[in-house]
Amino acid sequence: MVESISASTMRQYETTYRQWWNFCSERSLSPYQAPSIIEFLQRVFEGNNLQYGSMNSHRSALALINLQPLSNDARLSRFMKGISRLRSSKPRYNSTWDPNVVLEYIQKLGPNSTLSLKDLSAKLVTLLALATGHRLQTIQLIKLTNIHTSPQGIQIPITDPIKTSGTNRSQPCLQIPRFAENPLLCVATTLIDYIEATKPLRTPNQDYLFITFKKPYKTATKQSISRWIKNTLLTAGLDTNGFKPHSFRHASTSAAYRHGLSLSNTLSSPGS
């Protein structure tokens, strides 16, 4: 059953289990058959300014190890309903920024051939985040063997498990059209140039697209890619305290919605 939980979710659950273990130890209760889950959740709720989503995560973690199915507990269901009314989940971003600010900055960097590997890496991951609207986890999992080029553009199926992976759920496939009108902002061109620039730096079995721009040129982690995007935001003149790299998804979606565009075509008309 544990195999059905992703590694990132299990790390999140570990916080719950530590608190739950201490709670049960104080009261000499079995952590696998305790009748005091509502009391535990009430203490967590009162001691922290958590929204409903975080509280529901605690409940889900306990449901995984409890011998009695929590879904049948009417009192717990009513308790969680009360939490949702008192602290409903708030939207992460109440406002957004104009992606054109970032696009204008990238355009001023000049041709890909003149960029350092550091700047080329940041440019590519930023354009990919804006053009696709996908999570950084998805972008970090792009593999060279999954990149398929055509005269129209590039297709990249993501074959590794991601946050939204599940039974009967399709894996994402990134669609990247060519942008011949402005090669400086063409994601497909930048991707191809990045592959050529990093080819002599890769080890034979290094299949993931993004690698670090300093020796020993290891596969870039999601945290590294996040820093690249954050630095791009900062250098472009945006307030990185208000908007984190994940806000690229929100900005990309908002820009496409405002202009009546699909996410795949967000970069088809920069400046519109």
**pLDDT value of position 186:** 92
**pLDDT value of position 130:** 87
**Is domain 2-87 given the CATH code 1.10.150.130 in the classification?**
yes
Angle between helices 74-86 and 37-47 (to 10 degrees): 10
pTM (two decimals): 0.65
Give the CATH superfamily of 99-268: Intergrase catalytic core (1.10.443.10)
Domain extents for the chain? 2-87, 99-268
Q: Do domains 2-87 and 99-268 have the same CATH topology?
A: no
Beta-ladder partners of 176 = 154
pLDDT at 263 over 70: no
Beta-ladder partners of 157 = 173
| Contact (CB, 8 A) for 142 and 209 | yes
Backbone CA torsion sign across 253, 174, 211, 111:
negative
CB hemisphere CA count around 152 (13 angstroms): 4
pLDDT at 267 over 50: no
Write out pLDDT tens, residues 47-87.
888 888 889 999 998 888 886 778 778 888 889 899 988 88
Write out pLDDT tens, residues 23-40.
999 988 888 766 788 889
pLDDT at 245 over 60: no
Distance in angstroms (rounded) separating the CA atoms of residues 218 and 220: 6
> Which percentage of the chain shows pLDDT scores above 70?
80
